[in-house]
Amino acid sequence: MAPCTRWRARLKDPYDILGVAKTATPDEIRSAYRKLAKKLHPDLNPGDKSAEEKFKQVAGAYDLLSDTEKRRRFDAGEIDATGAERQHERYYKDYAEAASGRRYQSASSGFDDFAQQDDFLAELLRRREQQARRAPGADRSYELEVDFLDAVNGATRRITLPDGGSLDVTIPAGIEEGQVLRLRGKGAPSRGEGPPGDALVAITIRPHRFFKREGDDIIVELPITISEALLGGKVKVPTTTGAVMATVPKGSNTGTTLRLKGKGVPKRGGGHGDELVKLKVMVPSEPDPELEKFLSGWTPGSSYDPRRDMQS
């Protein structure tokens, strides 16, 4: 019996819950309830457990005090805040059911009438229904693999959709790996009257066989002959928009870098990056008797040692 008595003592006074005096008129009680319901009703606070619990208490208090006979019996000490007979001791679970499930259910069923009578709540719920009806469709995600040169120069490519349809995607010049393109209105249709969602296209780029990208610059390694390295001269250099002629300085070595201005990736703010051409001196893979004869009779000057910096 003691645990039940302690639990009952913790029941909140319905007058305190509604914030009204014990001498409050029915109109004052109704006004206090409406004010609290506007703030606490679960439909207006989705997912807020604290607000839901407080609304249960408010609904229970209003249920008791709005009933003339129940209010009289409560004021007389015949029933407690849950509406239970005071002389009949019950277990904790009985009070819990009376205070939560039953009270909340009756309050919820009565909220429809209350909402219809209250212009503010009715308008708020109407707007929520309109928002749900006008909500856009879901976004749909896709992946598109494009060639390196298409990513640099721009292109239009087509995606085949799971339903058999297709979607044309414009690849902007200079797009980067992992960038996501948003195609407005190309997603799922709305379940109501709203616009369709968007298509989100994640871009992956196939590596090129000799071009690489570093920021807005294009990197390419260019093989040259021994004579081109030693004597210099004009050589043809590939770029992402076609080959151009460039000058190899005399005495170039592997690692010497030529910079071709404006031959890189288009920049978002305008202009282009550069192309960096890294020279790589190559010897013939097949035997060359004339080259061998020349080199066999050539001796570097005594001051020249290409491995001088490697000596300890």
| pLDDT score, position 304 | 73
Same domain, 69 and 127: yes
Would you state the pLDDT for residue 312? 59
53 and 104 together in one domain: yes
User: Is residue 274 predicted with pLDDT exceeding 50?
Assistant: yes
Q: Is residue 309 part of a domain?
A: no
Per-residue pLDDT at 2: 43
- Report CA-CA distances (Å) from 213 to 219, 224, 242: 6, 22, 16
Secondary structure (3-state) at 149: helix
* Dihedral sign, Cα of residue 111, residue 113, residue 114, residue 115: positive
Q: Are 7 and 92 in a shared domain?
A: yes
Query: Regarding predicted confidence, which is higher, 280 or 108?
Result: 280
Q: Give the tens place of pLDDT for each residue, 96-131.
A: 444 444 444 444 444 555 544 566 666 676 777 777
The pTM of the full predicted model, rounded to 2 decimals, is 0.56
Domain coverage including residue 111? 2-133
Q: Mean pLDDT, to the nearest integer, of 3-30? A: 77
Q: What's the pLDDT score for residue 41?
A: 76
Report the pLDDT value the prediction gives residue 10, as an integer from 0 to 100.
55
Residues 13 and 100 in one domain: yes
- The answer as to whether 298 is a domain residue is no
How many domains are there within the chain?
3
Residue 77 lies in a domain: yes
Q: What pLDDT does residue 87 have?
A: 59
Q: Are 222 and 236 in contact (CB under 8 A)?
A: no
Least confident span in 90-94, 141-145, 218-222, 290-294: 90-94
Determine the pLDDT at residue 232.
95
For the segment 183-241, what is each residue's pLDDT rounded down to a tens digit? Answer: 999 988 888 888 999 999 999 999 999 999 999 999 999 999 999 999 999 999 999 99
Pair 149, 115 in one domain: no
CB contact at 8 A, 67 and 110 = no
Q: What CATH number has the domain bearing residue 157?
A: 2.60.260.20
| Cβ atoms within 10 Å of 161's Cβ, excluding its own | 13
pLDDT number for residue 60: 87
As a whole number of angstroms, the distance between CA 279 and CA 248 comes to: 9
